[in-house]
Amino acid sequence: MANIHPTAIVHTTAEIAEEVEIGPYCLVGEKAVIGKGTRLEAHVVVDSWTVLGESNHLFWGVIVGAPPQDRKYKNEPTCLKIGSHNIIREYVTLHRASGEGEETLIGDHNFFMAYSHVGHNSRVGSHVVMANSVGIGGHSVIEDYVNFGGLVGVHQFTTIGAYAMIGGMSRINRDAPPYMLIEGSPFKVYGINSIGLQRAGFSQETRDTLKTACRLLYYSNLKIAQAIEKIRAELPAIPEIDHLIESLEASRLGRNGRALDRR
Protein backbone atom coordinates (compact mmCIF):
# COMPACT_ATOMS: atom_id res chain seq x y z
CA MET A 1 0.00 0.00 0.00
CA ALA A 2 1.24 3.51 -0.85
CA ASN A 3 1.96 6.02 1.94
CA ILE A 4 0.65 9.42 0.78
CA HIS A 5 0.93 12.48 3.03
CA PRO A 6 -2.42 14.21 3.57
CA THR A 7 -1.11 17.50 2.14
CA ALA A 8 -0.09 15.89 -1.17
CA ILE A 9 -2.35 16.32 -4.20
CA VAL A 10 -2.56 13.25 -6.44
CA HIS A 11 -4.66 13.31 -9.61
CA THR A 12 -7.41 10.71 -9.69
CA THR A 13 -6.03 9.24 -12.95
CA ALA A 14 -2.49 8.77 -11.60
CA GLU A 15 -1.29 5.20 -11.05
CA ILE A 16 0.52 4.73 -7.74
CA ALA A 17 2.12 1.34 -7.06
CA GLU A 18 2.64 -0.41 -3.75
CA GLU A 19 5.27 0.82 -1.29
CA VAL A 20 5.40 4.29 -2.84
CA GLU A 21 5.99 7.17 -0.41
CA ILE A 22 4.68 10.62 -1.32
CA GLY A 23 5.74 13.38 1.05
CA PRO A 24 4.23 16.69 2.15
CA TYR A 25 2.95 19.13 -0.49
CA CYS A 26 3.80 16.95 -3.47
CA LEU A 27 1.84 17.22 -6.71
CA VAL A 28 1.23 14.20 -8.95
CA GLY A 29 -0.37 15.01 -12.28
CA GLU A 30 -2.83 13.49 -14.71
CA LYS A 31 -2.01 9.96 -15.89
CA ALA A 32 1.34 9.98 -14.10
CA VAL A 33 2.69 6.53 -13.16
CA ILE A 34 4.89 5.92 -10.11
CA GLY A 35 6.48 2.50 -9.73
CA LYS A 36 6.87 0.31 -6.67
CA GLY A 37 9.18 1.52 -3.92
CA THR A 38 9.68 5.03 -5.30
CA ARG A 39 9.97 7.79 -2.71
CA LEU A 40 9.07 11.47 -3.14
CA GLU A 41 10.31 13.86 -0.46
CA ALA A 42 8.50 17.14 0.22
CA HIS A 43 7.43 19.59 -2.53
CA VAL A 44 8.14 17.22 -5.45
CA VAL A 45 6.17 17.65 -8.68
CA VAL A 46 5.55 14.66 -10.93
CA ASP A 47 3.71 16.31 -13.79
CA SER A 48 1.22 14.80 -16.22
CA TRP A 49 2.18 11.90 -18.51
CA THR A 50 5.33 11.15 -16.52
CA VAL A 51 6.32 7.53 -15.89
CA LEU A 52 8.61 6.66 -12.98
CA GLY A 53 9.95 3.12 -12.61
CA GLU A 54 10.72 1.33 -9.37
CA SER A 55 12.80 2.41 -6.35
CA ASN A 56 13.57 5.94 -7.47
CA HIS A 57 14.31 8.58 -4.82
CA LEU A 58 13.28 12.17 -5.59
CA PHE A 59 14.44 14.80 -3.12
CA TRP A 60 12.95 18.16 -2.09
CA GLY A 61 11.79 20.49 -4.84
CA VAL A 62 12.37 18.13 -7.79
CA ILE A 63 10.19 18.74 -10.86
CA VAL A 64 9.90 15.93 -13.40
CA GLY A 65 7.72 15.94 -16.50
CA ALA A 66 7.12 19.69 -16.73
CA PRO A 67 6.31 21.04 -20.21
CA PRO A 68 9.37 21.53 -22.44
CA GLN A 69 11.15 24.87 -22.68
CA ASP A 70 10.42 25.01 -26.39
CA ARG A 71 8.50 27.78 -28.16
CA LYS A 72 7.19 25.26 -30.69
CA TYR A 73 5.38 23.32 -27.97
CA LYS A 74 1.61 23.77 -28.18
CA ASN A 75 0.39 21.55 -25.34
CA GLU A 76 0.43 18.41 -27.51
CA PRO A 77 0.54 15.10 -25.57
CA THR A 78 4.14 14.06 -24.88
CA CYS A 79 5.81 12.24 -22.02
CA LEU A 80 8.85 11.71 -19.83
CA LYS A 81 9.85 8.13 -19.00
CA ILE A 82 12.27 7.50 -16.14
CA GLY A 83 13.66 4.04 -15.36
CA SER A 84 14.42 2.54 -11.96
CA HIS A 85 16.85 3.08 -9.07
CA ASN A 86 17.62 6.70 -9.93
CA ILE A 87 18.66 9.25 -7.30
CA ILE A 88 17.35 12.71 -8.18
CA ARG A 89 18.54 15.38 -5.77
CA GLU A 90 17.22 18.80 -4.81
CA TYR A 91 15.60 21.03 -7.47
CA VAL A 92 16.52 18.85 -10.45
CA THR A 93 14.32 19.43 -13.52
CA LEU A 94 13.70 16.74 -16.15
CA HIS A 95 11.34 17.89 -18.90
CA ARG A 96 8.97 15.95 -21.08
CA ALA A 97 9.29 16.06 -24.88
CA SER A 98 8.11 18.45 -27.55
CA GLY A 99 6.21 17.12 -30.59
CA GLU A 100 3.09 14.96 -30.43
CA GLY A 101 3.84 11.44 -29.21
CA GLU A 102 7.52 12.19 -28.53
CA GLU A 103 9.41 11.13 -25.37
CA THR A 104 12.23 12.21 -23.13
CA LEU A 105 13.91 9.04 -21.83
CA ILE A 106 15.98 8.47 -18.69
CA GLY A 107 17.54 5.07 -17.92
CA ASP A 108 18.41 3.32 -14.65
CA HIS A 109 20.83 3.82 -11.75
CA ASN A 110 21.56 7.46 -12.58
CA PHE A 111 22.59 10.11 -10.05
CA PHE A 112 21.37 13.65 -10.76
CA MET A 113 22.83 16.11 -8.25
CA ALA A 114 21.19 19.38 -7.21
CA TYR A 115 19.94 21.81 -9.86
CA SER A 116 20.91 19.63 -12.83
CA HIS A 117 18.61 19.76 -15.85
CA VAL A 118 17.75 17.49 -18.81
CA GLY A 119 15.97 19.19 -21.68
CA HIS A 120 13.13 17.98 -23.87
CA ASN A 121 13.48 15.01 -26.25
CA SER A 122 16.82 14.00 -24.75
CA ARG A 123 17.99 10.45 -24.08
CA VAL A 124 20.02 9.70 -20.97
CA GLY A 125 21.33 6.16 -20.59
CA SER A 126 22.10 4.34 -17.34
CA HIS A 127 24.73 4.78 -14.60
CA VAL A 128 25.21 8.44 -15.55
CA VAL A 129 26.42 10.90 -12.89
CA MET A 130 25.62 14.60 -13.22
CA ALA A 131 27.17 16.87 -10.61
CA ASN A 132 25.52 20.08 -9.46
CA SER A 133 24.06 22.47 -12.06
CA VAL A 134 24.80 20.42 -15.17
CA GLY A 135 22.56 21.56 -18.03
CA ILE A 136 21.69 19.21 -20.91
CA GLY A 137 20.14 20.91 -23.94
CA GLY A 138 17.18 19.43 -25.78
CA HIS A 139 17.47 16.52 -28.22
CA SER A 140 20.79 15.42 -26.71
CA VAL A 141 21.98 11.85 -26.22
CA ILE A 142 24.00 10.88 -23.14
CA GLU A 143 25.24 7.31 -23.37
CA ASP A 144 25.83 4.97 -20.40
CA TYR A 145 28.36 5.64 -17.63
CA VAL A 146 29.10 9.25 -18.56
CA ASN A 147 30.38 11.29 -15.60
CA PHE A 148 29.87 15.08 -15.50
CA GLY A 149 31.66 17.55 -13.26
CA GLY A 150 29.70 20.52 -11.95
CA LEU A 151 28.42 23.44 -14.04
CA VAL A 152 28.84 21.68 -17.40
CA GLY A 153 26.74 23.03 -20.26
CA VAL A 154 25.77 20.70 -23.12
CA HIS A 155 24.46 22.22 -26.35
CA GLN A 156 21.25 20.88 -27.87
CA PHE A 157 21.45 18.04 -30.43
CA THR A 158 24.74 16.83 -28.92
CA THR A 159 25.82 13.23 -28.26
CA ILE A 160 28.26 12.30 -25.47
CA GLY A 161 29.77 8.84 -25.77
CA ALA A 162 29.80 6.10 -23.13
CA TYR A 163 32.30 6.26 -20.25
CA ALA A 164 33.36 9.81 -21.08
CA MET A 165 34.47 11.97 -18.16
CA ILE A 166 33.51 15.64 -18.57
CA GLY A 167 35.48 18.09 -16.44
CA GLY A 168 33.66 20.74 -14.42
CA MET A 169 32.62 24.01 -16.08
CA SER A 170 33.20 22.59 -19.58
CA ARG A 171 31.18 23.73 -22.60
CA ILE A 172 30.16 20.80 -24.82
CA ASN A 173 29.15 22.39 -28.11
CA ARG A 174 29.71 19.38 -30.40
CA ASP A 175 29.63 15.58 -30.11
CA ALA A 176 32.05 14.19 -27.52
CA PRO A 177 33.72 10.79 -28.11
CA PRO A 178 33.28 7.80 -25.79
CA TYR A 179 35.93 6.66 -23.28
CA MET A 180 37.73 10.02 -23.23
CA LEU A 181 38.70 12.60 -20.60
CA ILE A 182 37.24 15.90 -21.81
CA GLU A 183 37.48 19.42 -20.46
CA GLY A 184 37.39 23.06 -21.48
CA SER A 185 35.41 25.76 -23.27
CA PRO A 186 35.33 24.76 -26.05
CA PHE A 187 36.36 21.30 -24.94
CA LYS A 188 39.53 19.38 -25.73
CA VAL A 189 40.34 15.69 -25.34
CA TYR A 190 43.11 15.17 -22.77
CA GLY A 191 43.41 11.39 -22.97
CA ILE A 192 41.29 8.39 -22.10
CA ASN A 193 39.20 8.21 -18.94
CA SER A 194 41.77 5.85 -17.50
CA ILE A 195 40.62 5.75 -13.87
CA GLY A 196 36.96 5.47 -14.82
CA LEU A 197 37.66 2.63 -17.24
CA GLN A 198 39.79 0.81 -14.68
CA ARG A 199 37.08 1.12 -12.02
CA ALA A 200 34.52 -0.17 -14.54
CA GLY A 201 36.57 -3.33 -15.06
CA PHE A 202 38.10 -2.69 -18.48
CA SER A 203 41.26 -4.75 -18.98
CA GLN A 204 44.73 -3.23 -19.23
CA GLU A 205 44.88 -4.40 -22.85
CA THR A 206 41.66 -2.58 -23.71
CA ARG A 207 42.81 0.60 -21.96
CA ASP A 208 46.15 0.50 -23.75
CA THR A 209 44.40 0.05 -27.11
CA LEU A 210 42.10 2.99 -26.44
CA LYS A 211 45.09 5.07 -25.35
CA THR A 212 46.84 4.37 -28.66
CA ALA A 213 43.67 5.28 -30.55
CA CYS A 214 43.39 8.52 -28.59
CA ARG A 215 46.99 9.43 -29.38
CA LEU A 216 46.39 8.87 -33.11
CA LEU A 217 43.15 10.86 -33.10
CA TYR A 218 44.14 13.86 -31.00
CA TYR A 219 47.93 13.96 -30.60
CA SER A 220 49.24 13.25 -34.08
CA ASN A 221 49.35 15.26 -37.29
CA LEU A 222 46.67 13.09 -38.84
CA LYS A 223 43.21 14.22 -39.84
CA ILE A 224 40.42 12.37 -38.06
CA ALA A 225 39.63 10.33 -41.19
CA GLN A 226 43.31 9.40 -41.58
CA ALA A 227 43.57 8.43 -37.91
CA ILE A 228 40.50 6.21 -38.24
CA GLU A 229 42.07 4.41 -41.19
CA LYS A 230 45.26 3.85 -39.21
CA ILE A 231 43.31 2.60 -36.18
CA ARG A 232 41.42 0.11 -38.33
CA ALA A 233 44.62 -1.12 -39.93
CA GLU A 234 46.83 -1.38 -36.84
CA LEU A 235 44.72 -1.85 -33.69
CA PRO A 236 42.73 -4.88 -32.50
CA ALA A 237 39.08 -4.86 -33.56
CA ILE A 238 37.71 -4.89 -30.03
CA PRO A 239 34.13 -3.66 -29.31
CA GLU A 240 35.36 -0.46 -27.69
CA ILE A 241 37.36 0.52 -30.76
CA ASP A 242 34.40 -0.31 -32.99
CA HIS A 243 32.16 1.90 -30.84
CA LEU A 244 34.70 4.74 -30.85
CA ILE A 245 35.00 4.66 -34.64
CA GLU A 246 31.25 4.42 -35.15
CA SER A 247 30.76 7.47 -32.91
CA LEU A 248 33.40 9.49 -34.73
CA GLU A 249 32.07 8.61 -38.17
CA ALA A 250 28.47 9.33 -37.22
CA SER A 251 29.54 12.70 -35.84
CA ARG A 252 31.60 13.60 -38.90
CA LEU A 253 28.64 12.71 -41.11
CA GLY A 254 26.51 15.21 -39.24
CA ARG A 255 24.38 12.97 -37.05
CA ASN A 256 23.60 15.92 -34.80
CA GLY A 257 24.71 18.80 -36.98
CA ARG A 258 28.03 19.06 -35.15
CA ALA A 259 31.30 17.98 -36.75
CA LEU A 260 33.81 16.46 -34.37
CA ASP A 261 36.70 16.95 -36.81
CA ARG A 262 37.73 20.49 -35.93
CA ARG A 263 40.82 20.58 -38.13
Res. 258 pLDDT band, cuts 50 70 90: very low
Res. 254 pLDDT band, cuts 50 70 90: low
Q: Is the dihedral of CA 210, 216, 217, 220 positive or negative?
A: positive
pLDDT the model gives residue 241: 98
**Domain count for the chain:** 1
pLDDT the model gives residue 211: 98
**Mean pLDDT of the region 57-72:** 98
Q: Is residue 151 in a domain? A: no
Are 104 and 121 in contact by the 8 Å Cβ rule? The answer is yes
pLDDT the model gives residue 85: 99
Average pLDDT along the chain? 95
pLDDT the model gives residue 261: 41
Q: Is residue 229 in a domain? A: no
**Mean pLDDT of the region 115-120:** 98
Instruction: List the CATH number of the domain containing 133.
Output: 2.160.10.10
Q: Is residue 175 in a domain? A: no
Residue 175 has pLDDT above 80, yes or no: yes
pLDDT the model gives residue 205: 98
pLDDT the model gives residue 256: 41
218-254 in b/e form (b: 16+ CB < 10 A) is beeebebeebbebbeeebeeeebbebbbebbeebbee
Boundaries of domain holding 95: 3-139
Q: Is residue 105 in a domain? A: yes
Single pTM value for the model:
0.95
Which residue(s) pair with 183 in the sheet? Answer: 188
**Mean pLDDT of the region 179-200:** 97
Q: Is residue 22 in a domain? A: yes
Residue 21 has pLDDT above 70, yes or no: yes
Q: Report the DSSP pairing between strands 21-22 and 39-40.
A: parallel
Are 143 and 159 in contact by the 8 Å Cβ rule? The answer is yes
Q: Is residue 38 in a domain? A: yes
Q: Is residue 87 in a domain? A: yes
Residue in 103, 113, 105 with CA at minimum distance from that of residue 148: 113
